[in-house]
């Protein structure tokens, strides 16, 4: 039976083919050239090594397949500014439209409104999306190992590096982690959410952390609700923490992030 992830990937492939067929490639290349990528991985690593506060990738996410609509009133510009002011080290902006109600326009706006690096959070299946990402001011892309063959991982990461973008390789188990390491991924995210069943497995992040090479930026993704989670994952060896719903559900995500980053442990959920 087709999983939700299979359905998302099938729909994404159709949508990308449509956009690619209609694209003005020279115009996209011009827009891409106008954006100077800001080092996503280096920025997170620097914050992590400074140890003054956790390196948080704050995610701009209006809705998701597992949670439905999370933030009905969603304006990327003030959100991005508030999260940067609160101390986010980077942003992750959902650009998938059918399942997350995101857009490339949101990425463009959020990135232009801030000086911190931005990740295009989407289901990347075609090198054309890498060009779209840079043309929309992205500094990094996400590659979901469960969604790609080794050949496609290599192809898409090579394309991203050629465009000066960093790559966050997302894994969910040891086999995917081995594949990400094998292709030489510089930044690896362990997602505690199984994208096929949506079941959360927080223990997998601790289990896999020590196997990630020390020169790789280690990112813990999903289900992070409070400072206790960040402290536990820091002890496990993570450099950075990707947080979406915990921020997006709050009326004031900036205040929530400030509290999360404050030295005193604050449990927010």
Ligand X SMILES: O=C(O)c1ccccc1NCC(=O)[C@H](O)[C@H](O)COP(=O)(O)O
Which amino acids are annotated catalytic?
59, 61, 121, 170, 191, 221-222
CB of 221 to ligand X, least distance (A): 4
- Out of 222, 227, 260, 268, which residue is the one contacting ligand X (CB under 6 A)? 222
- Out of 54, 223, 253, 254, which residue is the one contacting ligand X (CB under 6 A)? 223
Q: Which string of b and e fits 142-154 if b means at least 16 CB within 10 Å?
A: bbbbbbbeeeebe
Compare residues 116 and 242 and give the one whose CB is closer to ligand X.
242
Binding flag, residue 188, ligand X (CB under 6 A)? no
CB of 76 to ligand X, least distance (A): 15
CB of 150 to ligand X, least distance (A): 21
Angstrom distance (rounded) from CA 179 to CA 198: 22
CB of 123 to ligand X, least distance (A): 8
Binding flag, residue 88, ligand X (CB under 6 A)? no
Which structure tokens are listed for 19?
């956009």
Binding flag, residue 122, ligand X (CB under 6 A)? no
Binding flag, residue 96, ligand X (CB under 6 A)? no
DSSP β-ladder status, 140-144 and 118-121: parallel
Dihedral sign of CA atoms 192, 162, 123, 100 in order: positive
Alpha-carbon Rg of the chain, whole angstroms? 17
Q: Which stretch binds ligand X (CB under 6 A): 35-43, 106-114, 229-237, 238-246?
A: 238-246
Long-range contacts of 187-190 (CB under 8 A, 24+ apart): 187/40, 187/41, 187/44, 187/140, 187/216, 187/217, 187/219, 188/212, 188/216, 188/217, 188/218, 188/219, 189/142, 189/219, 189/220, 189/221, 189/242, 190/218, 190/219, 190/220, 190/221
Compare residues 161 and 198 and give the one whose CB is closer to ligand X.
198
- Out of 9, 138, 217, 224, which residue is the one contacting ligand X (CB under 6 A)? 224
Interface residues toward ligand X, by CB under 6 A: 59, 61, 64-66, 191, 193, 195, 198, 221-224, 242-246
């Amino acid at each position: 039976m087709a999983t939700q992830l299979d359905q998302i990937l099938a729909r994404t492939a159709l949508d990308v083919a449509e956009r690619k067929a209609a694209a003005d490639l020279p115009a996209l290349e011009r827009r891409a050239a106008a954006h100077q990528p800001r080092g996503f991985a280096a920025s997170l690593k620097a914050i992590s090594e400074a140890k003054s506060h956790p390196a948080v990738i704050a995610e701009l996410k209006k809705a998701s397949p597992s949670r439905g609509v999370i933030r009905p009133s969603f304006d990327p510009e003030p959100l991005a500014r508030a999260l940067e002011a609160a101390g986010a080290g980077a942003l992750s902006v959902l650009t998938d439209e059918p399942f997350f109600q995101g857009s490339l326009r949101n990425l463009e706006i959020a990135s232009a409104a801030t000086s911190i690096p931005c990740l295009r959070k989407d289901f990347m299946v075609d090198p054309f999306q890498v060009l779209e990402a840079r043309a929309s001011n992205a500094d990094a892309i996400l590659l979901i190992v469960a969604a790609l063959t080794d050949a496609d991982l290599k192809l898409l990461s090579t394309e991203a590096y050629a465009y000066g973008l960093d790559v966050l390789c997302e894994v969910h188990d040891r086999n995917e982690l081995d594949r990400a390491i094998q292709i030489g991924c510089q930044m690896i995210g362990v997602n505690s959410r199984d994208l096929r069943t949506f079941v959360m497995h927080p223990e997998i992040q601790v289990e896999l952390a020590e196997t990630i090479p020390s020169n790789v930026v280690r990112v813990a993704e999903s289900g992070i609700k409070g400072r206790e989670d960040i402290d536990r994952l820091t002890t496990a060896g993570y450099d950075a923490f990707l947080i979406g719903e915990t921020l997006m559900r709050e009326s004031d995500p900036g205040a929530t992030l400030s509290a999360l980053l404050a030295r005193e442990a604050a449990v927010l959920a």
